[in-house]
Structure 1
Amino acid sequence: MNAKVEHSGGNSPADRVKLWLAGLVVVAGIVGFYYFANQWPVAVRAIGLVVAFVLAIVVGAGTHSGRALREYIAESQFELRKVVWPTREETVRTTGVIIVVVIIISIVLGLIDLLLKVVVMDWLLKLGQ
């Protein structure tokens, strides 16, 4: 990410009010969705719920935390552009190697399990009889 060093003063009282309001809008949307279950169809209630979530996001985006989140997402997208993604051939080859290794390890673990079963069930338990 960016090597910026900032001292964050945290959320101001107005930001805290906005975050509480956003949370209240979300809770109201969820309560309304279930409260009106018998009066309104599901589609209308779902639209109301989506509107409540969008409104909460809009209110929350205006806070210090919201701005910090937007900045984080923007910097993450910038960093993703720097990633060198493997080609299709490299991906297929790597996947094939992983599948072969998993099969080999599965066989080895199965043989160890079989050996332990023979030792414990057939050898040790018969000694005690």
Structure 2
Amino acid sequence: MNTKAEQTKGVNAADIGKLVLAVLVLAGGIFAYSWFGNDSGVPQAVRFLGVLVALLIALAIGAFTGPGRRVRGFLAESQFEMRKVVWPTRDETLKTTGIIIVVVIVLSLLLGLIDLILKTVVLDWLLKLGK
């Protein structure tokens, strides 16, 4: 059980202001990308770099809000938990994949057989009884 005290999940006015600013910075970067179109003489690589810079600035602004801190905490805890994962060896992965392929083939053949039997029963027997 987690022994940490639950933090409040409300968003205050300063956080809302920061999030609005982050959205405006990102929107400004996207607007600048389209404003300096192909006919403006600005290379597309520079325009794309401008959008990336606007995205990074927006993420940096958002990271200092309450929700941003919670996301950073979640990512840090996720990274810590990922270190605990025991990944399968190559041999285990190949064996498991082989078993799954065999099961899929067997089930598809079984479902195909059931479909063939039902088609035969419905089309050949039941529909001919009504004639």
Q: What is the TM-score of this pair, normalised by structure 2?
A: 0.89
Q: Any residues of structure 2 matched to 1:35-50 within 5 Å, and which?
A: 35-37=35-37, 38-39=39-40, 40-50=42-52
Letter paired with 1:12: N
The superposition leaves residues 67-111 of structure 1 with CA deviations (integer Å, 9 ceiling, x where unpaired) of 111111111110111111111111111111111100000000000
1:68 counterpart residue number: 70
Name the SS of the counterpart of 1:82 in structure 2. Answer: coil
Aligned residues: 129
Shift of 1:9: 5.3
- CA RMSD, 1 decimal: 1.7
Tell me the distance in 1 between the aligned counterparts of 2:6 and 2:15: 19
Gaps of 5+ in 1: none
Gaps of 5+ in 2: none
Give the share of equivalent positions with the same residue, in percent: 57
Residues 25-34 or 65-74, more deviating: 25-34
Shift of 1:113: 0.7
1:89 counterpart residue number: 91
Tell me the distance in 1 between the aligned counterparts of 2:2 and 2:122: 58
Q: What is the TM-score of this pair, normalised by structure 1?
A: 0.90
2:104 counterpart residue number: 102
Name the SS of the counterpart of 1:18 in structure 2. Answer: helix
Tell me the distance in 1 between the aligned counterparts of 2:115 and 2:92: 34
Tell me the distance in 2 between the aligned counterparts of 1:122 and 1:9: 64
